[in-house]
């Protein structure tokens, strides 16, 4: 009883007070107990005890006075009793001190371990380090539980190096310490190192428990390492914990994240018990795959199994509907949430916002946002992201401003969405302001934010700024590389695309569809089909050739590089061919002068049930312009009118161009006058159209109207203006506009502009000025200049200058047949047949063949072509019609101009040859095949000769028919015996 009393009366030592103090107030106390208590040392509780005994004895003596002998005996007894009690008290103090030291050490370690556990859960690294320091200063020996607590807290606080060092210094490393270490690495997102630690543990012979296996499976899901996960599953079977809830949930989550939903389902239904946690994991896996039907089926099955669902369950169901765009079932899930009484909190509200946003119901998403009370950064960020992803960039920016106004501090996800919105707005100044704000809040090192900034700068053409942001990223990921590659499409920067792609491969990254799309676009800009084919091989290796977006990029790359066979092969291999893919292949054929194939693809596209868009229609109209398919062009015009594409600037400009090049300049002008908005391209199309049809005055008036409306001309505008001056013989105006181009608008002349100026001077016969102009502008090595001169020399019969031009062209372009023919015609017009033979011999030695004259026209949507040899099913009727026309023309004074039949044959043969020119055959066929009210349009691959030109004028008079002939240079409109060119061509 005395020992108990003593213990109860002892004061609490200072060390216990320390453990109850806050961490910031911890002080070091050193408490020492004497190894031996002397007789003279009397603690407080000892003195009090002795005093009480003596008082009791004295009270007894005073009440019953003893005899002398009795007094002596009592004194001896009391003395001996006192000595025994004193010795007993000393022994008790010594034993109690040693016992207290042990109790105190274990208590402190236990208390420290508990505090470390709390620090780990809160992530309080400083407090954990203070506790660790207290243990070191006090010199206490640690136990395994305390060591595990230390490893756990350092690992979970991100100090992985210290955690691993402490783990290595542990005398005994058991499964608990290994699990704590693995959990730390996995918790910090380092799944690969978590797997490596698990391997080390197994090499040490440590058998994992269910927590170790569940953590390792989580590491596998982070790395998408399915093969190792299957080995871990085998370990779970071996240990006998496969049916454990944590292991089962981790397995289901792993298979779901790896896209192995069959294995996830099989694992789930093999579990002895499916609780809410397991159901949520499986539902979330299917939701991430966007399989809303399977999510709903499993959810109904969950309800039948009497497992109660929670808002987390409903959140997964709504996520599945969002990822698949299933609005109806998403609304049903929303109704179920309301009916079941689930509070629309931040978690469920954000899921509903995301669902409505992805289903294009931005208004409903905003309603959900405003229903949430006490918005935090998560809900704000979710709504801003929703607006940005649905193209409402201005609204996203406004909401970001409102968020800052309410005092909520943005995080990295908020900034990533706002930067994306700024990128879509194309507002570089605002983007730079957001960049400054990001630096202010300290998020510039966040990968997601840096990726968005890189994309913004690249998208706005600030390649150098984008590269700087990318280079500042500590550890760029695949998205970072893709953002960098996305900007290397322009002419000035496209060369960096292949280099960046190669560097990315060296860094060990595996490209995805976005990578291939970007690098293929760089190859398209570079016209580098060689590197493009290497990228194509990589696409095949990674089994992405069937992807519609990558496939479309491949088709575009080959088409831009003029490799249409490879382009069509890549197109044909696509599993799904949408309107964009069809448009790319149609555009490729149209741009490579294969208009027939372009229109054929367009017809096939319609048969497949794919509706064309405005770009498809514009490309097909361009094809019609090339082959002058007027009726097909009119059909496309009707289609554009019906589909509402007529007001699109690309379609309307293509229509103007089509009608102009098909000889329907009146229709082109009507379309142009009806345009609501006119850009530089549409103005250029109309100016060039007037010029092409010999209506120079209208071309110059249109140019002046363009200037008056505030439009800035470009190089194409001046090509049309100079061409109009050339066709009208306006030499001085041509000079004036040529000087205006560089002096006022700062446009540097190209070879085409110089050729127009040479044509203006040479058509006027001012060859001395032509020579001076060539010398002044240093144009002696430009083939186009000499071709223009040679054509003018043919008209004027200038043998000397023409021969010089031809000799120069034989050096620059020896394969072009027209150069030999024009020189031969100059000699033939002067009767120099020996020189004609020399030219034709030279032409034969060079392996150059003359392109035969060909004319064609379209009647009843069918194209009819004519050659001078007369191979046509209706050739007899055609010849009879020509004879009839010749007889009528003779009465009005027509005589065949045999001097233009440049052959050394008899006069009769010359007349016969002139009568079989392809344009005359085409005219005769048109007269016997069309009504008298219809305009005749003929197209020719060579220049029309003087005899045919005169023939057409007279026929238009005697038949009262309007005839339009387009040769290689321009259109000739024959009406009532005159031509629009006024015989100046």
- Helices 715-728 and 731-743, axial angle in degrees (round to 10): 170
Among candidate residues 518, 455, 457, the one with its CA nearest the CA of residue 489 = 518
Question: Burial level of 243, CB count in 10 A (0-12/13-18/19+)?
Answer: middle
Nearest to 327 by CA among 287, 357, 366: 357
Q: Which residues of the chain have pLDDT under 50?
A: 1-68, 70-75, 77-78, 81-82, 85-86, 88-103
Would you state the structure tokens that stand for residue 532, as one six-digit string?
Answer: 């493009």
Range list of β-strands (E), 470-591: none
Residue partners of 15: CB distance under 8 A and separation at least 6: 29, 31, 104, 108
Looking at the DSSP bridge assignments, the partners of residue 966 are: 939, 971
User: Is beta strand 936-940 parallel, antiparallel or unpaired with respect to 862-867?
Assistant: unpaired
Question: Cα separation of 280 and 299, whole Å?
Answer: 9
Q: Which of 324, 229, 331, 218 lies closest to 281, judged by CA?
A: 218
Q: How far apart are CA 116 and CA 410, in angstroms?
A: 31
Burial status of residue 357 (CB atoms within 10 A of its CB: 0-12, 13-18, 19 or more)? buried
The number of beta carbons lying within 10 Å of the beta carbon of residue 530 is 10
Q: How far is CA 181 from CA 156, 163, 200, 729, 850, in A?
A: 9, 7, 12, 90, 84
The structure tokens listed for 23 are: 């961490």
Q: Count other C-beta atoms under 10 Å from residue 347's C-beta.
A: 17
What burial class does residue 430 get, using C-beta atoms within 10 Å of its C-beta: 0-12 exposed, 13-18 middle, 19+ buried? middle
In sequence order, the β-bridge partners of residue 865 are: 856
DSSP string for residues in 899-914: GG--SSS-HHHHHHHH
Tokens of 272: 């002895």
User: Which pair of structure tokens corresponds to residue 743?
Assistant: 């002096």
CA separation for the pair 759, 770 (Å, rounded) = 9
Listed residue (543, 516, 544) closest to 532, CA to CA? 516
Distance, CA of 3 to chain centre: 82
Q: How far apart are CA 520 and CA 550, in angstroms?
A: 9
| Dihedral, 979, 981, 983, 985 alpha carbons, nearest 10 | -140
- Distance (Å, whole) CA 707 – CA 283: 64
- Helix-, strand-, coil-residue percentages of the chain, each rounded to 5: 70, 5, 25
The 3-state DSSP class for residue 310 equals: coil
Q: Give the residue from 655, 669, 665 showing the smallest Cα distance to 624.
A: 655
Helix, strand, or coil (residue 856):
strand
Residue 208 DSSP one-character state: P
Dihedral of the alpha carbons of 631, 636, 639, 645, in degrees to the nearest 10: -150
β-pairing, 963-966 vs 936-940, is: parallel
How far is it, in rounded angstroms, from Cα 686 to Cα 340?
A: 67
Q: In what order do the strands lie in the sheet with 854-859?
A: 862-867, 854-859, 936-940, 963-966, 971-975, 978-979
Distance CA 734, CA 728 (A): 10
Q: How far is CA 598 from CA 302, 432, 578, 633, in A?
A: 55, 44, 16, 13
Nearest to 690 by CA among 712, 666, 654: 666
Neighbours of 906 (CB within 10 A): 10
Question: What residues contact residue 716 under an 8 Å CB cut-off, 6+ apart?
Answer: 680, 684, 688
The rounded distance, in Å, linking the Cα atoms of 654 and 753 is: 23
Cα gap 153→146, rounded to integer Å: 11
Spacing of C-alpha 419 from chain mean position:
15
- Assigned token pair, 714: 């470009």
Which residues are bridge partners to 858 per DSSP?
863
Q: Which two tokens stand for residue 693?
A: 């049809």
How far is residue 353 from each of residues 335, 347, 422, 479, 625, measured CA to CA in Å? 14, 10, 22, 25, 49
Which contiguous run of DSSP H or E holds residue 973? strand 971-975
- Residue-level pLDDT at 619: 93
**Measured CA angle at 816 (ends 810, 822), to 5 deg:** 75
Contact 522, 485 (CB under 8 A): yes
Query: How high is the pLDDT of residue 898?
Result: 67
How far, CA to CA in Å, does 292 sit from each of 5, 258, 295, 324? 73, 18, 5, 6
Structure tokens belonging to residue 425: 């707005």
Residue the block writes with tokens 């008899």: 906
Q: Tell which residue, 346, 349, 217, 209, has the closest CA to residue 281.
A: 217
Angle (nearest 5°) at CA 61 between 60 and 66 = 130
Residue positions counted in the chain = 985
Read off the pLDDT of residues 839-855 as tens digits, 9 standing for 90 and up. 889 988 888 888 888 99
DSSP 429-480: HHHHHHHHHHHHHT-TT-HHHHHHHHHHHHHTT-HHHHHHHHHT-SS--HHH
Pairing of strands 963-966, 978-979: unpaired
**Max Cα distance, the chain (Å):** 188
The upper half-sphere exposure of residue 582, i.e. CA atoms within 13 Å in the direction of its Cβ, equals 25
Nearest to 399 by CA among 418, 413, 423: 418
Q: Taking a C-beta distance cutoff of 8 angstroms, is the pair 51, 45 a contact?
A: no
Q: What pLDDT score was predicted for residue 927? A: 92
Dihedral sign for Cα atoms in the order 763, 768, 770, 773: negative
Per the confidence metrics, is the pTM higher than 0.75? no
The SS3 call for residue 93 is: helix
Give the separation between CA 876 and CA 354, rounded to whole angstroms.
Answer: 75
Sign of CA dihedral 788, 789, 790, 793: positive
- Per-residue tokens: 345: 């909190």
């Amino acid at each position: 009883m005395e020992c108990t009393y003593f213990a109860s009366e002892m004061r609490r030592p200072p060390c216990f007070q320390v453990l109850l103090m806050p961490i910031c107030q911890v002080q070091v106390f050193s408490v020492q107990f004497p190894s031996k208590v002397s007789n003279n040392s009397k603690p407080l509780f000892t003195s009090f005890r002795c005093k009480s005994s003596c008082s009791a004895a004295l009270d007894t003596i005073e009440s019953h006075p003893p005899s002398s002998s009795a007094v002596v005996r009592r004194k001896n007894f009391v003395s001996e009793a006192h000595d025994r009690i004193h010795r007993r008290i000393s022994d008790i103090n010594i034993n109690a001190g040693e016992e207290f030291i042990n109790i105190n050490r274990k208590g402190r370690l236990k208390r420290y371990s508990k505090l470390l556990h709390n620090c780990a859960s809160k992530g309080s690294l400083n407090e954990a380090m203070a506790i660790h320091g207290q243990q070191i200063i006090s010199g206490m020996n640690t136990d395994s539980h305390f060591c595990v607590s230390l490893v756990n807290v350092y690992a979970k606080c991100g100090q992985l190096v210290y955690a691993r060092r402490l783990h290595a210094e542990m005398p005994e490393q058991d499964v608990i310490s290994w699990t704590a270490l693995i959990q730390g690495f996995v918790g910090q997102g380092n799944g690969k190192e978590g797997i490596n630690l698990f391997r080390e543990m197994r090499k040490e012979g440590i058998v994992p428990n269910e927590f170790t296996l569940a953590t390792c499976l989580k590491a596998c899901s982070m790395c998408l390492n399915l093969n190792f996960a299957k080995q871990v599953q085998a370990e779970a079977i071996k240990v006998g914990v496969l049916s454990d809830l944590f292991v089962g949930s981790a397995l289901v989550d792993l298979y779901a994240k790896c896209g192995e939903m069959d294995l996830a389902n099989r694992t789930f239904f093999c579990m002895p018990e499916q609780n809410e946690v397991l159901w949520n994991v499986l539902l979330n896996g299917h939701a991430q795959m966007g399989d809303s039907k399977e999510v709903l089926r499993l959810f109904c099955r969950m309800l039948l199994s009497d497992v109660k669902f929670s808002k987390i369950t409903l959140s997964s169901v709504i996520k599945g509907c969002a990822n698949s765009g299933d609005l109806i079932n998403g609304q049903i899930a929303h109704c179920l949430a309301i009916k079941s009484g689930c509070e629309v909190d931040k978690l469920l509200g954000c899921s509903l916002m995301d669902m409505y946003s992805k289903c294009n119901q931005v208004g409903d998403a905003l309603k959900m946002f405003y229903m949430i009370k006490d918005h935090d950064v998560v809900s704000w960020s979710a709504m801003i992201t929703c607006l940005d992803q649905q193209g409402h960039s201005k609204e996203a920016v406004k909401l970001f401003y409102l968020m800052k106004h309410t005092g909520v501090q943005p995080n990295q996800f908020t900034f990533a969405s706002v930067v994306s919105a700024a990128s879509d707005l194309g507002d570089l100044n605002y983007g730079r302001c957001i960049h400054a704000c990001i630096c202010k809040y300290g998020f510039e090192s966040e990968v997601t934010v840096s990726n968005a900034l890189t994309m913004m700068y690249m998208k706005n053409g600030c390649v150098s700024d984008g590269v700087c942001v990318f280079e500042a990223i500590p550890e760029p990921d695949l998205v970072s590389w893709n953002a960098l590659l996305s900007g290397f499409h322009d002419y000035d920067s496209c060369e960096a695309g292949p280099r960046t792609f190669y560097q990315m491969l060296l860094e060990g990254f595996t490209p995805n569809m976005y990578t291939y799309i970007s690098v293929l676009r760089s190859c398209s800009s570079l016209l580098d089909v060689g590197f493009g084919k290497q990228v194509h091989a990589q696409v095949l290796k990674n089994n992405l050739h069937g992807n519609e977006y990558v496939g479309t990029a491949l088709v575009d790359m080959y088409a831009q590089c003029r490799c249409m066979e490879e382009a069509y092969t890549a197109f044909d291999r696509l599993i799904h061919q949408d309107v964009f893919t069809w448009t790319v292949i149609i555009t490729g054929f149209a741009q490579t002068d294969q208009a027939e194939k372009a229109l054929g693809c367009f017809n096939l596209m319609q048969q497949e049930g794919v509706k064309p868009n405005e770009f498809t229609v514009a490309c097909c109209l361009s094809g019609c312009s090339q082959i002058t398919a007027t009726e097909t062009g009119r059909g496309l015009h009707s289609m554009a009118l019906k589909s509402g594409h007529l007001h699109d600037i690309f379609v309307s400009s293509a229509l103007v161009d089509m009608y102009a090049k098909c000889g329907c300049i009146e229709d082109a002008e009507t379309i142009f006058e009806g345009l609501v908005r006119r850009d530089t391209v549409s103005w250029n199309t109309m100016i060039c159209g007037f010029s092409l049809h010999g209506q120079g005055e209208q071309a110059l008036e249109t140019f002046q109207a363009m200037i008056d409306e505030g439009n800035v001309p470009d190089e194409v505008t001046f090509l049309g203006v100079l061409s109009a001056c050339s066709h009208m013989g306006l030499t001085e105006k041509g000079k004036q506009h040529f000087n205006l181009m560089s002096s006022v608008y700062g446009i540097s002349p190209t070879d085409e502009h110089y050729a127009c100026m040479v044509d203006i001077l040479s058509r006027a016969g001012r060859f001395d000025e032509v020579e001076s102009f060539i010398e002044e502008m240093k144009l002696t090595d430009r083939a186009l200049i000499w071709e223009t001169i040679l054509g003018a020399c043919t008209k004027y019969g200038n043998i000397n200058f023409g021969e010089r031009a031809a000799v120069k062209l034989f050096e620059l372009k020896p394969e072009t047949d027209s150069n030999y023919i024009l020189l031969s015609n100059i000699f033939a017009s002067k009767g120099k047949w020996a020189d004609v033979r020399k030219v034709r011999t030279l032409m034969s030695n060079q392996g150059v063949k003359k392109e035969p004259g060909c004319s064609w026209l379209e009647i009843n949507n069918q194209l009819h072509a004519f050659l001078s040899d007369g191979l046509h099913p209706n050739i007899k009727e055609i010849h009879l019609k020509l004879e009839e026309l010749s007889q009528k023309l003779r009465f009005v004074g027509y005589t065949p101009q045999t001097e233009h039949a440049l052959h050394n044959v008899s006069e009769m043969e010359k007349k016969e040859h002139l009568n079989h020119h392809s344009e005359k055959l085409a005219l005769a066929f048109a007269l016997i095949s069309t009504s008298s009210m219809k305009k005749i349009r003929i197209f020719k691959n060579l220049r029309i000769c003087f005899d045919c030109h005169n023939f057409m004028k007279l026929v238009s008079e005697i038949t009262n028919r309007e005839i339009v002939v387009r040769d290689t240079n321009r259109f000739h409109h024959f009406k009532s015996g005159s031509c629009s060119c006024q015989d100046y061509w």
